[in-house]
Chain A
């Protein structure tokens, strides 16, 4: 394989990582039955705080910690208002989307367009020598490795452990889980905070690695919504969510590439205003949501050969946790 393609793929994996971490975090939250709609804003706030924290303290670890705390606090606010105060998660989440984005802009005004700390690349000793795969996946920064571990760990947690079963149960049938002795409310707070902290980590990944620094408007504007859509596209399953994030990023990389270099098809330069290519991620978002929500998937499955139908259906299924966004009172 040629070197240019390998480095492009490497860059795609690297720049997809914040999206992967954010959507996995949201998966954790939504699996527990809470929707954290504030992603688009809390990513920006976490990115800004992470960058400023790292710059002021001179340590990336501090920046990441600050960002994670911020993300967790925003998420906890949503959990609190829905669990304790019985407010609409969507309303509170939307207000927080705007508020956190404004806060990021407000506090970030002193930190715009200045250089700061970044997370460096760190190749994994043995794995990087695997041909192709090593170059693409294991010559990366630590956050990328963390995202692999997170996806695998989350899958194992959700589908192979008892505690993970309880995690899914409070998102599907909180009454049943409660009857079996699970502390639904407490766990919902916990998982929302964990998911929020991961969103914060994703924000820090933007400002400390993917596109270092802080700018207004922030570079990750819109990514929060895409992450939310990816969770749906991924059917709340860690691996599919991860795949979705990579697909979206690949599409974006292709369209950015074409905008930069022009498009040559069949030996001919295509004359076209490539700004319209910026529509692609959003069109893809609508199309994927259309596919998973309108029953087209089922029709698609039915025209497939019978032997693979069952597996395909299992793979493409996208059912939200039954109690997603549904309030549950313990008493």
Chain B
């Protein structure tokens, strides 16, 4: 690639300054043993372990810890680390947006800066044994080398994508941290609690997987509808429909049907989801009601219907309330894999197979091509002979079936009865996941896992810190919003070709 080097002066100086800071900071990390300083309050302390030591001393002295005091106690030398880190991240991000060669070193800065910040956070968090005397500097330079080598093989737009993901994540974390601080809660303990809630032991990992299974199912379904240009907000209702149908089968099953009752209830759940999705589809395709409003209304209708069933016909005989139906009989529940790892294996396999099937179908079949054509431009698709109405309906049905199965997993495994709002917001979370991955099905399981881990980890917060679990949802929301905004920034400022037509007549779509 031929490129002319055009470095403006301020850009050059900024680069030089960042380099300098990075070198200083790298050297400090390298010779960390030599960096011991005298403090009046705590005696001789290693610069790098210092935040941790100060925190410890403070806790011993005052029996509590607050971030503000720690910051005020830290001497300037140690503040150099986060400053350099922030600077490197900021500059790296800035140079991502620069055309041509400057962008090459951008990731280097981002990576180095993030390592510095992560290091600092770890130090303050208290895991100082992770970083002290283990050749942190060596690891840093190793990573920089990898980054440099990797630079040469990554095309520009991918690098931009990586950069904007990094940037979005950092901003989302920083903003959420500020929000948590605003409520007067310790942000590091929030991180710790979420992490422990998700990955402490086998059973917490199993909990993550149990969120991941329905989340991935609905997200894969949503990839299909999004590909057809449809906003299937009715996904929550479709999940609930699946849950209700599965519950109907499970509640009225008897012992001697044990062999086929589970497959039957899952199939019925898929049918239920398809029925509810087809309502949204009929409203959209044949009656011209926008699927967003139709979906929202159908969600609410399904919620009311579930509450009605729970409080009236399916009411438990003793102690009937609107809390939930009677627990299903044992033979109707999905079995655990093992007592240590409570996950239903066949369903896990099904999720993987379904994900692969969706990705393959979208990429390699005529149906997938039709969906894409309908999504990009319904009118020309129709002129080219694509049955647009039928294709859109099929997208709704596939999505509904997957959502129904996801709903059945919630009631037949995560819970053991039907309760109001059994979908637990997973459908909407799926929409966020799909928006985040830009409708690329291949990425869904991975992002879905991160989101599921956050969701599972957040359940501990209320007990441990009296903090509402919505903090992780805030984090996820900010993250997706930033990704969308960065998409825009890339398309508008850094793309040679004209941006994809995102201005198709939405008026028709949203308001008709």
Contact = CB atoms under 8 A, between A and B. Distances in A.
Interface of A: 30, 35, 37, 81, 84-92, 94-96, 98-99, 102-103, 105-107, 109-110, 222, 225, 228-229, 232, 273, 275-276, 278-279, 282-283, 285-286, 289-290, 293-295, 320-327
Contacts of A275: 304, 307-308, 311-312
B506 A90 contact: yes
A276 B431 CA distance: 28
Interface stretch (B126-134, B245-253, B263-271, B291-299): B291-299
A85 B488 CA distance: 4
Contacts of B292: 37, 90, 94
A23 B226 CA distance: 28
Contacts of B298: 282, 286
A323 B510 CA distance: 12
Nearest to B279: A286
A276 B308 contact: yes
B183 A322 contact: no
Query: Closest 6 interchain pairs by CB?
Result: A85-B488, A325-B506, A99-B477, A324-B507, A327-B503, A320-B511
A85 B288 CA distance: 29
Nearest to A224: B296
B499 interface: yes
B188 to A, nearest CB: 18
A229 B293 contact: yes
A293 B289 contact: yes
B283 interface: yes
Given A85-B488, A326-B507, 18 more contacts: A85-B489, A86-B491, A87-B484, A95-B484, A98-B432, A99-B474, A99-B478, A102-B477, A103-B179, A103-B477, A105-B473, A106-B474, A107-B179, A222-B300, A225-B293, A289-B294, A290-B289, A294-B287
B481 interface: yes
B481 A92 contact: yes
Nearest to B428: A98
B218 to A, nearest CB: 15
B502 A289 contact: no
Contact of A86 (B294, B435, B499, B506): B499
Interface string B299-341: 0110011011001100000000000000000000000000000
A325 B435 contact: no
Contacts of B287: 290, 293-294
Q: Select the residue from A84, A95, A99, A273 with max chain B CB neighbours within 10 A.
A: A95
A326 B312 contact: no
Contact of B293 (A81, A285, A324): A285
Contact of A279 (B290, B304, B505): B304
B118 interface: no
A88 B483 CA distance: 13
A327 B504 CA distance: 9
B286 to A, nearest CB: 9
B510 A282 contact: no
B294 A81 contact: no
Contacts of B510: 35, 37, 90, 324-325
Contact of A87 (B301, B470, B502): B502
Contacts of A278: 304, 307
Contacts of A273: 308, 311-312
Contacts of B297: 225, 229, 282-283, 285-286
A85 B506 contact: no
For the complex, would chain A's binding face be called helix, strand, loop or mixed by DSSP majority? Answer: helix
Contact of B485 (A87, A282, A324, A327): A87
Contacts of B233: 94
B473 A98 contact: yes
Contacts of A84: 488, 492
A102 B473 contact: yes
Contacts of B509: 90, 325
B206 interface: no
Contacts of B15: none
16 contacts: A35-B506, A86-B491, A87-B487, A98-B477, A102-B470, A105-B468, A106-B179, A107-B183, A275-B311, A276-B308, A278-B307, A286-B289, A320-B507, A324-B507, A325-B503, A325-B510
B231 interface: yes
Contacts of B491: 85-86
A31 B306 CA distance: 38
Nearest to A228: B293
Contacts of B312: 273, 275
A35 B231 CA distance: 15
Given A94-B233, A229-B293, A286-B297, A324 B473 contact: no
B502 A326 contact: no
Nearest to A274: B308
Contacts of B474: 99, 102-103, 106
Contacts of A321: 507
Contact of A225 (B283, B296, B506): B296
A290 B289 CA distance: 6
B477 A88 contact: no
B379 to A, nearest CB: 15
B283 A81 contact: no
Contacts of A98: 428, 432, 473, 477
Contacts of A320: 507, 511-512
A306 B287 CA distance: 27
Interface in B460-498: 467-468, 470-471, 473-474, 477-478, 480-481, 484-485, 487-489, 491-492
B471 A106 contact: yes
Contacts of B492: 84-86
Nearest to B436: A95
B6 to A, nearest CB: 24
Nearest to A280: B304
Given A324-B506, A326-B503, A86 B288 contact: no
B480 A95 contact: yes
Contacts of A276: 304-305, 308
A233 B164 CA distance: 40
B498 to A, nearest CB: 10
A84 to B, nearest CB: 7
A96 B485 CA distance: 12
Given A286-B283, A293-B287, A110 B183 contact: yes
Contacts of A228: 293
Contacts of A294: 287-289
A225 to B, nearest CB: 5
A101 B97 CA distance: 32
B287 to A, nearest CB: 5
Contacts of B288: 293-295
A109 B283 CA distance: 38
A286 B294 contact: yes
Nearest to B431: A94
A110 B510 CA distance: 37
Contact of A85 (B428, B485, B511): B485
Given A320-B512, A321-B507, A91 B432 contact: no
Contacts of A92: 481, 484-485
A290 B294 CA distance: 10
Contacts of A232: 293, 511
Contacts of A107: 179, 183
A294 B294 CA distance: 13
Count chain A CB atoms within 10 A of each CB in B298, B304, B431 and give the residue with the most.
B304
